Amino acid sequence: MGELAVVKSEETQKTQVDLETAERFIAEKRIGERIKRLRLKKSMGLVELGKHTGLSASFLSQLETGRVVPTLRNLARIAMVFSKDLSHFFESEPNALFRIHRRKERVRLPQTGVNSPTYYFESLGYMVPDRHMDPYFAEFVPLTKDMEPKAHMHPGFEFLYVLDGDLDLRHGDHACTLEAGDAVYFDASTPHSYQCAGKKAAGAIIVTMHQPPQAQPMPLRAVSPLPAAKPGSGAPVKPGAGDAK
């Protein structure tokens, strides 16, 4: 009897540990939050979700807040409502991208390719890996005799918002003067240049947006010419049948 009691005690402890491990696992995966996120994305209330799953609204509320541990059967019911696989609730969620760029940590760089730069810029996104856009703060200094604006071009698009001062912008055949509060969006593959239009420096926020490479057309494969019909065979030969289109 004593040994049997010890075995039962060990089994009970093991069960308790397993339950604690399961609850911790559920909490780490934030399954309740994932259920709520799916429901809100579909603009679905708890009562409506309950009708689809056969679970009560109060029980679903406790699931979402983590007060009860869901069974695989219940998770499967919920997953099917949202056309998700059961693994959706257990996959690791990607970390949300969040980067702060302190002003004191930024580096001020001059315009490249000229002896007398007409503007200086600071990258506002240098700490973001694989970014899809490049934001900058740019300061355009008043022109002197030895300064000459230099046009440049690059793939993608560009957005510019003037913070203060006046700025002359040339884009292809277009030329305009932008004032504080003005904004412009243009195709950056067209040669463009900018310069300070006043006696005081002009500040602007510039965002260059990368353009994904266009899909290359599949090369056409040459069609082998059809063999000519033998004399007397009566088989007609179609003109141009062996030409590649």
pLDDT tens digits along 145-191:
878 788 999 999 999 999 999 999 999 999 999 999 999 999 999 99
For the chain, the helix, strand and coil percentages under 3-state DSSP, each to the nearest 5: 30, 20, 50
Region at 80 (left for phi over 0; alpha for psi -120 to 50; beta for the rest) = alpha
**Average pLDDT rounded to a whole number, residues 65-85:** 87
Residue 87 and residue 91: Cα distance in Å, rounded?
6
pLDDT, position 93: 64
Token pair belonging to 207: 């965002």
Q: How far apart are CA 187 and CA 209, in angstroms?
A: 10
Q: What region does 31 belong to: left with phi over 0, alpha with psi -120 to 50, or beta? A: alpha
Question: Which residues 6+ apart lie within 8 Å of 78 measured at CB?
Answer: 35, 38, 49, 53, 55, 70
Quick one: pLDDT at residue 218?
Answer: 54
Q: State how far the Cα of 160 lies from the Cα of 207, in Å rounded to an integer.
A: 6
State the amino acid at position 144 in one-letter form.
T
In this structure, what token pair is assigned to residue 179?
Answer: 């004032």
Residue 217 above 60 pLDDT?
no
Distance in angstroms (rounded) separating the CA atoms of residues 181 and 178: 8
Whole-angstrom Cα distance, residue 234 to residue 245? 27
Domains of the chain and any CATH numbers = 2-89 (1.10.260.40), 103-209 (2.60.120.10)
Q: Which helix (H) or strand (E) holds 2?
A: helix 2-29
* The pLDDT value given to residue 168: 96
Task: Name the pLDDT band for 239 (thresholds 50, 70, 90).
Answer: very low
d(CA 167, CA 156): 22
Dihedral (Cα; 30, 34, 40, 42), 10-degree rounding: -170
d(CA 109, CA 117): 10
| pLDDT tens string 90-144 | 777 666 778 888 998 899 999 988 888 999 999 999 888 778 899 999 999 999 8
Identify the H or E element spanning 171.
Answer: strand 167-171
Average pLDDT on 195-206 reads 96
Quick: pLDDT tens for 10-38. Answer: 444 544 556 666 666 666 667 888 899 88
Entry field: residues in the chain: 245
Q: How confident is the model at residue 204 (pLDDT cuts 50, 70, 90)?
A: very high
Q: What's the confidence (pLDDT) of residue 71?
A: 84
Q: Is residue 32 within 8 Å of residue 75, measured between CB atoms?
A: no
Kindly state the helix (H) or strand (E) to which residue 27 belongs, with its residue range: helix 2-29
The percent of residues in the chain predicted with pLDDT above 90, rounded, is: 42
Residue 181 structure tokens: 């509060």
Q: Please, what is the average pLDDT of the chain? A: 80
